Structure 1
Amino acid sequence: MGNVNQLRILSSVNPDWQGAREAAQVGIDNFNVTAGDDPLPSVSFSITPDTVIENEPGAAFTGTFTVDGNIPTVTFDADGNYVSGGLSVFLDAKEIFELARQFDLFIETDLTIGSSEPAASQPNLFEFILFEETSDITITIFDDIVEEEPFTYNFELLEDQVGSDYIVNPDANTGSFVLEDGLPGGPGVGPDVGVSVTESELFEGEEFTVNFTVTGEAADIPSEENPLTVLVTSDTPASLGEFALFDENGTPLFSTEGIVGVPTPGDLLGSAFFVDLIAPTASLTLEVFEDGPGEGLETINFALANGEVYEVDPDNAGVTLTI
């Protein structure tokens, strides 16, 4: 700034220097404006640990967001609930449908899950609103009964989708982890389980029965003292909504034999269910939900998932229903 001060002095004694002084002052003003502009925050992302063992206590993975730069001030209400502010970022969970069958709980640390239009319209896209320079989302893994090969889940931090003004660190924008069963399952472990139906071509309001059979060593046959939990899955999201399962009071509309308790959801997509078998032959009788005309012909495939403690009968591995 010494040169500018010299121009001020010179212009006071020589009017010819006035133009130079004005030009220098414009430079100062422009400098002040530019210096006040904050650069866009840079966001990084990582996953830990590299491997998650499903049957270990506390099985979970953590996604960590790190911000280098300013985060808009966050506002909370009197109860501590998020109101506004923070930095909105977007994460692509590439294997979201597989992950939906595995995760149990979300644990948020210094962030919350957003609901902007891009995230709401794409099932694999998640919006997170970050409160601090370091924010975490931890997802616990459900210890299921399914025998699975090691599977890799991949995540990518995306460029801004709604104009919240951030840039992605190109050297730290992805993360992944491998999920392993951690049990010595494999071919030949446990009894063989099969599934079949009394009718495969159905109309709305029509009743049909799902039958289960279990064969194998006597010690492996399910009983009241030794129930066997099996999982039935579908390749159609919300497929269980096609059937009348409960009334408005939560009372079951189906009947069972050789099954203890009530079948329970097997995923968050409404397309899978668990049943606890207590006999070598068991059945589940239910009706197709009658929701009126207009849907057209529907085809739904159901299959037994290969279990950690049971095998699937290859001749009765699944059923196809036409409604």
Structure 2
Amino acid sequence: MVQVSLSTSTNFDGDLNALVEDQGTALTVRFDLDQPAPTGGLKVYIDSEIEQILNRLDLPAAIANPQVENLNLLATQTNLDNSGLAVEITEGSTFATVTLTIFDNAEPDTVLPETFDGRVDAVFSLLTADQIAAEDQGSITGVGDYTVDPNAASSTVIFADEASQLMDTPEPPTPEPPTTPEPPEPPAPPASNAIQVSLFTGPDYLIEDEGTVSAHAFLATDGIIPEGGLVVSVDAPNLSEFELAGISVEGGEIVAVRDGGFDLRMTEYTTLVNLPIADDGEMEAGETATFSLAAGEGYEIVEDYSGGSFELVDSRGDIPQGNITEPNNIIPLATDTQITAENPAFSGSDSIYFDIGNRYLNEDGTYTYIDYSEDVDVYKVALSAGETITIETFDNEGNPSGFDNGIALQSQIYDAEGNLLQDYTISGFVTPAAPDKLFGGIGPFDENETDSYREFTASEDGEYYIAIGAQNNAQNFFDGAAPFYKPFVPGSGNGNRTTFGNYGIEINLLTEDNPRKTGTPSAPVSNPNVTSPPTLSLNAIPATIDSEGNLTNAVVEHVALGELSAVNFTIQAEGEIPDGGIEFVLNSNANLFDYISLLGQNALPSTIGGQSLGAFYNEDGIPTGVRLRIE
């Protein structure tokens, strides 16, 4: 039986095997085998037992630009709490490596600071199939038969925000968190007695006829709560709009209520106040309720996280079109786009991220909180048979800069019973380009880059639901498996927190007055400094390669996974090519969207001896050609 060894290394300039966020250092994990991997490859598993530690690495960048040797990326799996992963070493290989850059998380982290803030010493251990924890056996599958080299069974990697933290000794374990899972308790506080208090609130809208319960999470950091608790003051000028008799507190108690505010005694580092809106029978006309920390003795206020506000409405239908509020990740609570033939466009902005107000009350009085990339936003449209809508999302430039592929959203479409109506199983991880964005741009925030785009035509009259979620949560897979997300189950899915951030969305009902987008007509080619241009000639070579490597000189419309069909164009220049090259257009009389596969729609055509500059759009805004530079 093959024996496997584990080792890790970083490019940190020092004696420690360390990853430092503000230096952008990288980790290389290496597996060595004492004999070649067997037929079909060998899947091996490592775990650290530190919750979410993998998400302190830049996983999206690794997916977009993998740095691996002898690994099958499609077989990679992460365990339930993202403390470990399984990778498959390719058949016949005697070693394999994967290199991952650290992700520069924003501090402080409000959800899991014991993992994402400060120094963390993670011990990664190589485990065999019989050592996989019971809770991970559903997510880690197919681990092969191997033994572990006892002299290379584990390796320690130090994670830190900055190099100065590497001089620190590891902090002791933190106290057990409260029963409410979000946000968790802070790491063990330093010696300073200047306690920092922050306040997070949610959701954005409180709906009177639904009795929405507002959430107020108080977090104490950088200090020690004194015996008897810490009393903090809150200003709430609209407190009369709430049902004070229904207030509940976890991790503390209300010690005083006054006109326009209250005092809270915090006995835990995280204290949660639940306060329902009052059903006062009065019309709420654009009223806003604010809550903010007030100065007091024994604590300092974290100004950037010092409070929040709620918009008060009588019913869900009173929320203005284009305003999106959590929770909305199941069909019954979908955001109503209210689009009609007379009002065919919907646009708004939301996020795939944790929100303290994105929660669901359970029968036992506890709450289910929606975690990071398990956040799915659902939008409702009412359509008549034959009507077509387009759905496009837009990445926000303010999203984490480490995401070379942006937030990477996907959409699924369901009927009112939750049946999945449209899937792109054959496309796997690939999304179509928007009509005005063929071949994409230079990055996720380029105006020519498609984040996600989809069209849907209703087969019958009815209500339809569009679920927007992270790429590995609300999507289909190469093997045809259903998405992890289930449209009636709050918090379903397995987003693994690999992508999160803010996004914009546009949903359009296509009508005569609201047609499908077209591109901006391309300007004519101009080479003003070229006085004696070369003569160009064109040759086209069609080619189809099947899964066994057989070549046919023809192009086919559909190929199976692992096969390729393409046209290679050869442009020859007769004459001298000036410095800087010659720009020209390889044009056609066809809409290229009718011929280019999904795989090719979001990437510039590859070239040798020249450069692709993007799609050429004719005067009608239809992409008919490719702009090129020959060099």
State the TM-score, normalizing by the size of structure 2: 0.26
* Structure with the higher fraction of residues in helix conformation: 1
The structure, 1 or 2, with the larger RCO (C-alpha pairs under 8 Å, 6+ apart) is 1
State the TM-score, normalizing by the size of structure 1: 0.46
Q: Which has the larger radius of gyration?
A: 1
